[in-house]
Chains A and B, each alone.
Chain A
Amino acid sequence: GENVEQHPSTLSVQEGDSAVIKCTYSDSASNYFPWYKQELGKGPQLIIDIRSNVGEKKDQRIAVTLNKTAKHFSLHITETQPEDSAVYFCAAPPFSNSGNTPLVFGKGTRLSVIA
């Protein structure tokens, strides 16, 4: 089945700097890669996603890049702000799996933006 590895588990950056979180996946047939943001005391919320027919997608200060050959995708946050502090999860669908979950999530990255 699909295995999603996420690094780093914690990340601290100065306000205004960039942050990068990387995920690798194992199922080469996977073709959809979402990123969810979880603020303290709340449920995860989708912030950006990418499909395998594109290599990069941007939405204001956040971007996601995908390398299908290497089977990894990354979240990039530029000009970080205190409100970016949260736990971020990557995910990938187990395309070839037994069908008991629509998404396999990474273990999460706790991002702290220091003012």
Chain B
Amino acid sequence: NAGVTQTPKFRVLKTGQSMTLLCAQDMNHEYMYWYRQDPGMGLRLIHYSVGEGTTAKGEVPDGYNVSRLKKQNFLLGLESAAPSQTSVYFCASSYSWGQGYEQYFGPGTRLTVT
């Protein structure tokens, strides 16, 4: 039982390049999330999914796109990377939404955009 895994662990991009971050979970969770973590800013939700084939915007969605083609996978895309997207990205999953449901986090992807 691997829990939540993320690939890659590190990535350096140049401004304007694109990339996709992959998240996978083996807990059969319906809900999946992408967060970014910046120094002094805590965790902010980018996009989330309430089930296979669904996506929705979180608090800071601009500049990102997501897809959930399979229940166990949640992809985060950057079409044209900007230095402001330098951050650590965490994927998480949960059985249900909101109050009382633990979120399980992956180990993170450190992205640097130069």
Contacts and interface: CB of A to CB of B under 8 A. Distances in A.
Contacts of B41: 107
B107 A32 contact: no
A103 to B, nearest CB: 7
Interface stretch (B11-19, B62-70, B89-97): B89-97
B43 A44 contact: yes
A55 interface: no
A43 B42 contact: no
Contacts, number: 64
B42 A89 contact: yes
Contacts of B102: 34, 46, 49
Contact of A93 (B43, B59, B94, B99): B99
A61 interface: no
B5 to A, nearest CB: 11
Which size class do A's interface residues fall under?
20 to 34
Nearest to B102: A46
Contact of A41 (B57, B99, B107): B107
Interface of B: 4, 31, 33, 40-45, 48, 56-59, 90, 92, 94, 97-103, 105-108
Of all A-B residue pairs in the complex, the 4 with the closest CB atoms, nearest first, are A43-B105, A32-B99, A107-B42, A105-B42
12 contacts: A9-B40, A42-B107, A43-B108, A44-B105, A49-B100, A100-B45, A100-B57, A101-B58, A102-B33, A102-B45, A103-B98, A106-B42
